[in-house]
Amino acid sequence: MWWIYALLSAFFASLTAILAKVGIKNMDSDFATAIRTLVILVITWSIVFFKGNFTSHASSLSRQNILFLVLSGAATGLSWLFYFRALQVGNVSQVAPVDKLSVALTIILSIVFLHESITLKTALGAALILAGIFLVIK
């Protein structure tokens, strides 16, 4: 089932790039990111409250959960700010593939920090992603 969610994520991420490129025309990219973030806040908190998950999950948060979710949120915010700025000054067909360097970087970071093992197939896939990115941006 995870792969269905991953495919939906990829689909909506691709829409994000196209819609954002049109939406940030003649506007500050940081302001545009703030608008986007507000929409995301409304949608995600609405889902949490609609499903009734707030009280049951809020009480189980640990300090570690909070720390790493805050750090993840900060990383997400910075990623979005830089992504929108890149979209504003560059071509979507080049910005989006470079943004996907995150796939290869995530594999490396998962090995270093999470001690995940890597298979030859995963390493080859990451290498092909890198090669594809370099082909697109050249």
How many percent of the chain have pLDDT more than 90?
70
DSSP element (H, E) containing 19: helix 2-23
> Residue 116: which pLDDT band, with cuts at 50, 70 and 90?
very high
The answer to whether the beta carbons of residues 137 and 94 sit under 8 Å apart is yes
Tell whether 45 is covered by a domain: yes
Tell whether 7 is covered by a domain: yes
> Residue 50: which pLDDT band, with cuts at 50, 70 and 90?
very high
* Rounded Cα–Cα distance for residues 4 and 74 (Å): 27
State which residues form the domain around 79. Answer: 2-99
Residue 113 pLDDT exceeds 80: yes
Tell whether 40 is covered by a domain: yes
Q: What is the mean pLDDT of the chain?
A: 91
Tell whether 70 is covered by a domain: yes
Tell whether 55 is covered by a domain: yes
Return the pLDDT at 28: 94
The answer to whether the beta carbons of residues 122 and 107 sit under 8 Å apart is yes
For residue range 58-103, what is the model confidence (pLDDT) as tens digits? Answer: 888 999 999 999 999 999 999 999 999 999 999 998 898 899 899 8
Tell whether 114 is covered by a domain: no
Per the structure, the count of domains in the chain is 1
Tell whether 75 is covered by a domain: yes
Tell whether 126 is covered by a domain: no
Residue 38 pLDDT exceeds 90: yes
